[in-house]
Amino acid sequence: MKKFTSPTIFFGMLCLLLVYSCKKQIGDIFSDPSKPEGLQWAKEYYAQHLQQQNSFSVKLSGSKGTLTTTDLKNNKKTPVWTKASEGITFQYTFAEIPLRYAHKITPTLALSKNPDERPVANPEVIDASFDRLIIYKDKNGKIGQRIISYIPDEAYLKKHKGNISHNRINQMDKDFFGYVHYKDWEGKALFAIRVENGKAVKRYNLANNVKRGISNLAQSAKPSGSKVMVLPVDPPDCIYLVTWDWYQDCYYASEEATTPTYCDPVVIYNVESILISCNEPSGGGSGDGGSSDPGCPGLIMFETGECVVEEPEVTLDSLIKQFCDNLTADQKAIINTSVTALKTFNCATKYIYEKFKTENRSFKFCISAQDGNASYGFTKGFNFGSDLAAAQMNIVEHEFYHAFQQTVYPGGIEQYGRPENAPPNTLPNAGFVNTEFEQMVMNDMINGNYLAFTNGTPSQKDLYEDWVKAVTNNYSTYPKLKPEGTPTEVAEYNNFMTSYNSFLAAFNALPNNPYHSTALNMQPYAIVNLFNHINRTCP
């Protein structure tokens, strides 16, 4: 055998020293960089709200088994932040932190006809169960906490060779069968979720649990190998969900270890039950994997245990550039539906929609109370006075025509807008009536409506309506106007404009007309442009 020489030993020690000195850096390289920094908010919450309230006692009075004395022990809970992980769902940002106790308490749950059923311990299941602290922040920034216990079914545990600690509350094994038990920091049981195939299939409210006397139980538990955690249930008797809390002292290899190296045998510590149903078969949570419940397709709310489903992401219409910040998801969906519907509402809206899309135009949309049902402004975009207004296609169409006018009028139409919205250095009522009247005529010719003289006299109403019918050949064509065309086309245009301007003047003179303006007889650029591009049937 070759003997080690001094230089060899020296070289070996040097290598060890080098490795040791590099240990911290190597560890840093392989650590998860997202953990500590991303959880600062959770750490601060813990420090401010939970750390000081950490002296809850474990009362062992009345228990039998390995520990036989009536005892009151402090049960300090210690989050292991180095093993914490962060999760994000559509409802929460949350931290999931392994939790160690001075004395491990493990709940196990079963459906039973007898709330005083003798508890049966399964040491493998109890040893593999573990607690985590969840500190969550909802979309409004509200922070809360829960302690969750993962309690596997025996078969699932065996399949994973006795270790299920890789599960996270938002990433559970697809073959997970068992319970997730929720309590608050003070230890009050809140609810339990039956999980099958990795999905929540049943929620049990534990808030009104009835505490059972341990002395009533037949005998305390003894570790008994491979006992089944879920007891058989036969209808039609009453069914209880029984929670047995097991106590044990566990020993860890280090301060940061989350899995104990050894635990004392369990002692029954607390029994609670809650009536689930009477005179009907089990309401779920059988634990045998046979439930037909498809499970919660969304997320279990940490506060209540209720299932919430994420609303599907709405694909925004390309004409929507942005929404006002205060709009709800429902309001955005209403607007999106209305804007998209413009594609098929009529040939005019279809043409304008496609024109805007081709020109990469998009708009801002808001909903807030205002005079009238809606308004459009070049800089402010569209505003609807209410959700109902945003859902009314004829109101959306009306404002859409104004957006079209903006693109075809030299210099846009904002200069002719509502007197109160008139830009600086423009006449307050420079030509408002022209754009509003033109919009109404467009609408009436396109849709066979009668908008322009709603407040007029019966004579005006009739004359206007007869004119609209005449120039559209009883709503079968659109007037094709060519102010720069041949002499015949110019004559036709002038003929049209004579009537148009006559009606415009009558409209402008309507009593208390809010659209009244001093400037009249502007060319109806939008009518000329639009009707030269569309027909009664769309391409």
Partner 1 sequence: MKTLIHILLISLSYSCWTQKPLKVGRYELDGKTFVVKKHTFGEKTIISILVGIGENFENKNYPPPQNKYASPPVKRDIHFDTTLVKEIVLKTLSKKQASFKARNAFLSVSLTFKRDGKVERTSYSLHNQPNITLEEIASIDKKIKAGSIKATFTGIEYLDYQYIHYPSFDVFF
Q: Which residues bind partner 1 (CB under 8 A)?
A: 371-375, 386, 388-389, 392, 394-395, 398, 443-444, 447-451, 454-459, 461-463, 465-467, 469-471, 474, 495, 499, 510-512, 514
Tell how strand 381-384 and strand 363-367 pair up: parallel
E-state strands within 118-176: 130-138, 143-152
Q: How far is the CB of 401 from partner 1 (least distance, A)?
A: 12
CA atoms within 13 A on the CB side of 468: 24
State which residue, 454 or 521, has the beta carbon closest to partner 1. 454
The DSSP-derived string for 483-497 is TTS-HHHHHHHHHHH
Q: How far is the CB of 387 from partner 1 (least distance, A)?
A: 10
State which residue, 306 or 462, has the beta carbon closest to partner 1. 462
State which residue, 234 or 420, has the beta carbon closest to partner 1. 420
Q: How far is the CB of 411 from partner 1 (least distance, A)?
A: 24
End-to-end CA distance of the chain: 95
Q: How far is the CB of 452 from partner 1 (least distance, A)?
A: 9
d(CA 317, CA 111): 51
Q: How far is the CB of 506 from partner 1 (least distance, A)?
A: 11
d(CA 496, CA 347): 22
Distance of CA 495 to the CA centre of its chain: 59
State which residue, 217 or 506, has the beta carbon closest to partner 1. 506
Indicate if the alpha-carbon torsion angle 245, 249, 255, 261 is positive or negative.
negative
State which residue, 17 or 470, has the beta carbon closest to partner 1. 470
State which residue, 59 or 461, has the beta carbon closest to partner 1. 461
Q: How far is the CB of 447 from partner 1 (least distance, A)?
A: 7
State which residue, 82 or 386, has the beta carbon closest to partner 1. 386
Query: Rounded to the nearest 5 degrees, what angle is found at the Cα of 191, between the Cα atoms of 188 and 197?
Result: 140
State which residue, 170 or 499, has the beta carbon closest to partner 1. 499
Q: How far is the CB of 415 from partner 1 (least distance, A)?
A: 19
The DSSP-derived string for 376-401 is EETTTEEEESSHHHHH-HHHHHHHHH
State which residue, 41 or 467, has the beta carbon closest to partner 1. 467
Of 390, 401, 382, 383, the closest CA to residue 338 belongs to 390
d(CA 526, CA 519): 17
Indicate if the alpha-carbon torsion angle 119, 123, 124, 125 is positive or negative.
positive
Q: Which amino acid is at 79?
A: P
State which residue, 264 or 465, has the beta carbon closest to partner 1. 465
Q: How far is the CB of 291 from partner 1 (least distance, A)?
A: 46
147 Cβ contact partners less than 8 Å away, ≥ 6 residues apart: 77, 99, 131, 132, 133, 134, 182, 183, 184, 185, 187
Q: How far is the CB of 372 from partner 1 (least distance, A)?
A: 3
Q: How far is the CB of 385 from partner 1 (least distance, A)?
A: 9
The DSSP-derived string for 238-303 is -EEEEEEEEEE-EE-SSTT--S-SEEPPPEEEEEEEEEEESSS---S--SSS-------SSEE-TT
State which residue, 40 or 457, has the beta carbon closest to partner 1. 457
Q: Token digits for 210?
A: 């009835």
Q: Which amino acid is at 203?
A: R
Q: How far is the CB of 460 from partner 1 (least distance, A)?
A: 8
State which residue, 356 or 515, has the beta carbon closest to partner 1. 515
Q: How far is the CB of 54 from partner 1 (least distance, A)?
A: 58
Indicate if the alpha-carbon torsion angle 487, 489, 492, 493 is positive or negative.
negative
Query: Rounded to the nearest 5 degrees, what angle is found at the Cα of 413, between the Cα atoms of 410 and 419?
Result: 140
Q: Which amino acid is at 339?
A: V
